[in-house]
Chain A
Amino acid sequence: MELSKKEIKNEILGKLKRHFGKTLEEASADQIYKSVALSIRDLIVDKWTDANKQVVRQGLKRVYYLSAEFLMGRALVNNMVNMNLYDDYQEVLAELGLCLDTVEEQERDAGLGNGGLGRLAACFLDALSSLDFPATGCSIRYEFGLFRQKILDGEQIEVDDNWLEFGNVWEIPRPEEQVEVKYGGELEEVWTESGLKIHHKNFYSVLAIPFDYPVMGYMCKIPASLRLWSAKAKTGLDMTYFNRGDYARAMQERELAEVISKCLYPEDNHQQGRLLRLKQFYFFTSATMQHIVKKHKENYGDLHTLPSYCCVQINDTHPTMAIPELMRILLDEEGMAWEEAFDITSKMFSYTNHTIMVEALECWNEEMFSSLLPRIYQIIKVINEKFCDKLWTVYNGDFDKVSRMSIVAYGEIRMANLCIAVCKKVNGVSQLHGEIIKARTFRDFFVVFPNKFLGITNGITHRRWLAKANQSLTKLISNHIGDGFLKDYTKMDDISNLLTNNEFLDDFMKVKYENKVRLRDYLKRTQNIDINVDSVFDVHAKRLHEYKRQLLKVLHILSMYNFKKENPDMYMQPCTFIFAAKASPGYARAKNIIRLILAVADLVNNDPVTKDTFKVVFIENYGVSVAEILIPATDISEQISTAGLEASGTGNMKFMMNGAVTLGTMDGANVEIFDAVGDENIFIFGATVNEINKMEKFGTYKPSEFYEQNSDLRAALNMLIDGSLNVANDRQFSDLYHSLLFSDMDRADKYYLLYDFAAYSIAFNNAIYAYETKDEWKLKAATNTAKSGIFCADRTIHEYNQKIWHLTRMD
């Protein structure tokens, strides 16, 4: 992909001229961004088109990664990095008097995801492509991504994320590949010469229009595809109503149809099955499966060979309906017999679980489901029947167990159980999570199908999270070991050889400092907040959820505040406590925790005794682009979820890769970070899964005992209700206080904050002591980066491929 700087310049100016009729001087910032983006897009699309032809010619198997979310972030600079054109573009833009960072900021984040799950899907596409595996991600082209978060008057305000407002240069609409998705109606059984046929009548249908996005891997042979389906009414306007002058009615059908791809639901771990959500999931899975079948017939003819040419990974249960949908196509449209269709289907799918708590597994109301998707419902019932027959013999008539394991029961349809019944493999996303789903979440299934379950630890793409987000560090590393590690992650291990090189370690800390300055400038520019770059940057950045324990961090800040107030003359290491978290709009307690963080910030940042030592910062609108600035600047990475509740976490990997030292519990992938870096290079605290399990089993945990015995903790907790914090309503935080000490609906302190508080304080102090010993710290920080190779998504993809997909790379 050779492109000289001169050509780049001509391309950009040419695009400006042809697409916008502007010269550089006249062009708006948006037009400049688009011209730059289009110049590189052309290169990608050329390659992409050729490669996809090659895939068919070589008869390569393709993985379809189905996910309701893809949290892609911005594409422009990432594509430059992956095509090794970053420096050239930067120079060309400089010659044109432009700054690449400014150009980049014109691109809207593709925020089609809530958090880890969607980001994982995005990292996987990058890694699949970088490794030259044929891959297509499939999802919905949500018109509105996850809400944008503003902080106003001490609380979170949600603003819509109209990311397509100014168009999207990366997408290629493919209206010729549109398919029809049918909802509602009734079924009619008809006996024909070739047996029983199901006729679906009186349904209403929606068109699914695909928009394809090339996802450019690093120096790759085949860009991956991200196919996003957009809903469109079959008829634009109902002319009957229109001619009568009933314009509202004439538009109605269109609106009803198009609302399907309107917006992404914010997750809150306890969502009620909503009708629109169900429509969304069926919409993109049906469209995808129809597309897969159609393509296969075009390319290879016989559907019996489908499993040899493609496999489908279901990312969490949202896309589960792809399974009965494929059955439906094979049975009703292709006229196969049940066994024949099921044989094909059962070879195609695998399922990635992200959930630990059984009660958080996705369920749909049976009535709602059957009226929206009558045929899919019928197919699920038959799968269920056959599945239960098997379980009945295995579990010898254990009513309760079989009904717990069945797919349809008590008026609910349980998507995880459907996945387990049909899928070839079911995987957890870290080793610990893999063990927990075997031993707890899906224990009864595991005992029957032990060969189905496995754990594959998540990974992150080091192209985006190192090469793009932390260019200074990437340069530093490349200067020593070359840039081969960007293609071959195992070369990252070579960084270990540099850990004895003092010059490298000093440079490493210089890079860290530069990144802290970058964050400081960013915060100044965006939120007008000043932070001290010489303080420790202690960062807790992830979705807001009780189990992730932002509240524990806040209580600890309060206790440090109290300590400083009692010992005003004692020197304490200056700390900047940074939070970044979106709370689901419907998750009241989470939003209240944001209020609390802001109130504590108000207190600590303005108290003359503490304001020069401690600073509490809440960064607005945490997303991919914010993370790219925040993570490289971090000293301490807070990964403090209650042990056993975080499936993997991927933030923890991004931080450690960028030289932050983890302060965390033995949870999710933290366990593997611990294994990788060794106990001197991580600060572990708190109850283990086994300890918590024991407390749960015997009901021995009494948070009030900790409240009584630990005076620091008590003082911090009391501040939530004693008026110390400046809030309009002085009972604002009594719910939080209450939830930790008293049980009513739920057990008190369900997430063991009080239990872990003392251990956290000690671990935090240890981290601070270590930070103060600069020589010690730089080695710890650099060791974290050096050991981060195994957390590259490339390693994850290799594992998926060896254990589940069995794809071959394109040559």
Chain B
Amino acid sequence: MQIEQYMNITKRFGILLEWIDGDNMENIDFSKCIVHDSTKESYRKPLGAQKCGTTIEIRLSIKDLFVQSVYLVTLNKNKKSFHEMYHDEDTLVAEYETPSKPCVIWYYFTIKLSDSTKIFYGASMNYTSGLGKAYFNQPPSFQLTVCDSDFITPNWFKKSIMYQIFPDRFKKSGEDTLNVGAQYHRNKNRSVRIHKNWEELPEYMPAENKMFYEPCDYYGGNIQGIIDSIDYLCELGINVIYLNPIFEAASNHRYNTSDYLTIDPVLGTNADFNRLINICKERGIEIMLDGVFSHTGDDSLYFNRYANYEELGAYQSKESKYYNWYNFMDYPNVYKSWWGFETLPEIVEENQDWVNYIIEDDDSVIKTWLKKGVAGFRLDVADELPDKTIEQMRTALKSVSQDKVILGEVWEDATTKESYGITRQYALGRGLDSVMNYPLRNVIIEFLCYARSAYDFKKFLVSQNQNYPKEMYYSLMNLLSSHDIARIRTILATKIDPHDLTSQQQAHFIVTKEQDDMGDKLQRMAVVLQFALPGVPSIYYGDEVGMNGLRDPFNRKTFVDKDCDIKEFYKAVANIRKREPALQTGKCVFFAQDDDVISIMRFCNGTKDAFDNLTDDKMFVIVVNRSEHHKQFAVDLFGDEQIYEEKDRQYFRDVDFAYANCMLTNNSYELNFGLLQGKIEPYGTLIINVEWI
């Protein structure tokens, strides 16, 4: 079989095709004759995730190849459909209408060549968006996310900056609360060990006379401590606090809830909490709570294994009104529990009593706290909650106010997450507003630690932008550290995988001065990226003063405020973000340049942001150079970049750019014919404000 049969041998790139044996077709690479880039309008319009019932133009460009017919193949769950593509000028096009129910559509192309040989075109390996490749077999598919047409997330949240507090470790005000609280728990026969010294290391080994390590050492951080820190938080520019669990529980992390309606006495009283809410409101700060609903503690009002509560618990009697909340295999001692931890009996979320108590009653747990002024919940282990439960929660929460937020703990891409064999629906508009964006954090680390090039980093950013529904994309909780992972600074400073270390090793792990200095440089880059991207940047308490720490409990050390450059840097960056709508809800485009320099363009033009809200026109180009070398950077504001819509490009072609100034350094940059360029220092970060007339 001669290659000439397929090809109008092209002169387009001089040499285009490679084949080893002229006769073996498998050696022909068709990837440069066929193109579909799911992130360019010329191939898929409109771009990105779409609402139900939208018509999308999907195009395939075929150059110098004789074809009989071309089909767009779509997969919805397991249902395959074929759509014949027809010629339109130099491309092939199919119009595809998204289904009426939210889902994720997968698609690829089949191409029948002039001699009836069939080849395929699908996504590049390991990607679900961007430029594809030609294949001889069933290819990987492109993703098309289809979300509920009414999906909307609160606008205020998209514009927010979050601060996460692990309450026992943030700030202690006075000794009394701790003493009262400790006594309360001791009265219930619970372990309470109190650190005398605020700055000592948390316990990480079994305590004396104990078989296992238990997280029952307390420092006594409390609600009043947070109230006392309001000025500090305001200065940092934050406007939403996410509190790790604060309800009564028998541990310092309180993920084993004892009583959903009572603040843990070690932290203070319900009244103290109300005061916090009110004071925060005055200062423009919202509070979000950790909702731990997939399980309770065994030592809880509901399970009441140790009879610490007066009310009859599920463990005590089948008569208990909470009995149906749990799944007993062999009453009372064998029951379903979270990952087999007996202390954490699992909830049967289908149970209507539980649904009423937690979600639906007018005085349900969720509604009670929301009505007190809480802005929303972060759902612990969202993957353990059925989609239906999350949908019920959304309905209840939004019934209190459309401005309340429901955010899930999900560790992977939420649009394609499967748990227990089911493709999760929570990202498609009927469940969560937002999820914790762990994948972003991982990729930022990979980029800064040379495990991923700027080009690959860009591919990731583009794919998140395209695969998440826009409402959720702009609400993603973009974190760098949390109570469940090692602190960003330590990872960047030491490039260590903390999973390789035992608790003892972690406890004695020392970050050298040299490593910490490197960590400081890299952390700044991570922070600029975090604040430059769409989504809600979240600062885990203490990151802003350069705290180090590996995994739990070393990432939960006590907070000590100190004056340091990194804190000033956080303030500067956060305040720019807080001031500038373009950085909050502006559109974005990503640019990679060689392996080391990534740029993010954020803009509002035509007095509109990405959601068509009225906004001042403004543009920022954020540039980050991870390398130890000085670099020249160049960003083509007219360039045909992925996810850059034609109307925006045209808009900028027609304006007169006036100047470009970095907000951090105040340096100005060349801007000729829409080409922004200049020098960037080793480990440099720039936030360039581009003005036009």
Contact = CB atoms under 8 A, between A and B. Distances in A.
A435 B32 contact: no
Nearest to A382: B15
Interface centre among A396, A398, A451 (most CB of B within 10 A): A396
Interface centre among B13, B15, B677 (most CB of A within 10 A): B13
Contacts of A443: 636, 673, 675
Contacts of A388: 13-15
A439 interface: yes
A384 B593 contact: no
B455 interface: yes
B12 A399 contact: yes
A401 interface: yes
B672 A399 contact: no
Contacts of B592: 394
A409 B64 CA distance: 14
Nearest to A398: B640
A409 B11 contact: yes
B639 A447 contact: yes
Given A392-B32, A399-B61, A438-B675, A451 B632 contact: yes
B593 A448 contact: yes
Contacts of B633: 450
Chain A residues touching B, range: 35 or more
B35 interface: yes
B14 A384 contact: yes
B568 interface: no
B14 A401 contact: no
Contacts of B594: 448-449, 451
A381 B594 CA distance: 24
Interface in A381-431: 381-382, 384-385, 388, 392-394, 396-399, 401-403, 406-411
A393 B31 CA distance: 11
A440 interface: yes
A168 interface: no
A408 to B, nearest CB: 3
A693 interface: yes
Interface string A492-510: 0000000000000000000
A446 interface: yes
Contact of B35 (A397, A409, A439): A397
Interface in B14-35: 14-15, 32, 35
Interface in B652-693: 653, 656, 670, 672-675, 677
A475 B13 CA distance: 60
B677 A438 contact: yes
Interface in A558-584: none
A450 B631 contact: yes
A249 to B, nearest CB: 39
Interface in B567-594: 592-594
B658 to A, nearest CB: 11
Interface string A149-167: 0000000000000000000
Nearest to B678: A450
A439 B635 CA distance: 10
Contacts of A382: 15
A523 B513 CA distance: 78
Nearest to A413: B14
B642 interface: yes
Contacts of A436: 672
Contacts of A406: 12-14
B63 interface: yes
A394 B456 CA distance: 10
A385 B672 contact: no
A447 B455 contact: no
Contact of A384 (B13, B631, B632): B13
Interface centre among B635, B674, B677 (most CB of A within 10 A): B677
A393 B454 CA distance: 12
Contacts of B675: 438-439, 443, 446-447
B37 interface: yes
Contacts of A410: 11-12
B131 A397 contact: yes
Contacts of B32: 392, 397
Interface centre among A397, A403, A439, A446 (most CB of B within 10 A): A397
Contacts of A409: 11-14
B673 A385 contact: no
Contact of A447 (B593, B631, B656): B593
A181 to B, nearest CB: 25
A597 B13 CA distance: 47
Nearest to B36: A397
Interface string A447-469: 11111010000000000000000
A402 B13 contact: yes
A383 to B, nearest CB: 10
B673 A440 contact: yes
Nearest to A432: B672
Contacts, number: 91
Given A393-B455, A435-B670, A693-B673, A451 B631 contact: yes
Interface in A337-396: 366, 381-382, 384-385, 388, 392-394, 396
Interface centre among A382, A388, A451 (most CB of B within 10 A): A451
B130 interface: yes
Contacts of B642: 396
A747 B588 CA distance: 38
A385 B593 contact: no
B518 interface: no
A404 to B, nearest CB: 10
A207 B485 CA distance: 72
B634 interface: yes
A440 B677 CA distance: 13
Interface string B421-461: 00000000000000000000000000000000001000000
Nearest to B43: A397
A437 to B, nearest CB: 11
Contacts of B674: 439
A146 to B, nearest CB: 35
Nearest to A454: B632
Contacts of B636: 443, 447
Contacts of B131: 396-397
Interface string B616-657: 000000000000000111111001101000000000010010
Given A394-B455, A397-B37, A397-B131, A450 B677 contact: yes
A396 B656 CA distance: 28
A367 to B, nearest CB: 11
A412 to B, nearest CB: 9
A394 B458 CA distance: 11
A627 to B, nearest CB: 33
A462 B14 CA distance: 46
Nearest to A391: B13
Interface in B117-139: 130-131
B632 A450 contact: yes
B11 A411 contact: yes
A372 to B, nearest CB: 17
B634 to A, nearest CB: 4
A2 to B, nearest CB: 48
A409 B14 CA distance: 5
Interface string B330-368: 000000000000000000000000000000000000000
Contact of A438 (B634, B640, B653): B634
Contacts of A392: 32
Contacts of B673: 439-440, 443, 693
Contacts of A407: 14
The 8 closest A-B pairs by CB, nearest first: A408-B14, A439-B672, A450-B632, A450-B634, A396-B131, A439-B675, A397-B35, A385-B15
23 contacts: A381-B14, A393-B455, A396-B642, A403-B12, A403-B13, A406-B13, A409-B12, A411-B11, A435-B672, A438-B677, A439-B675, A443-B675, A446-B634, A447-B593, A447-B634, A448-B593, A448-B594, A450-B631, A450-B634, A450-B677, A451-B631, A453-B632, A693-B673
Given A397-B35, A436-B672, A450-B593, 4 more contacts: A381-B14, A385-B15, A403-B13, A439-B677
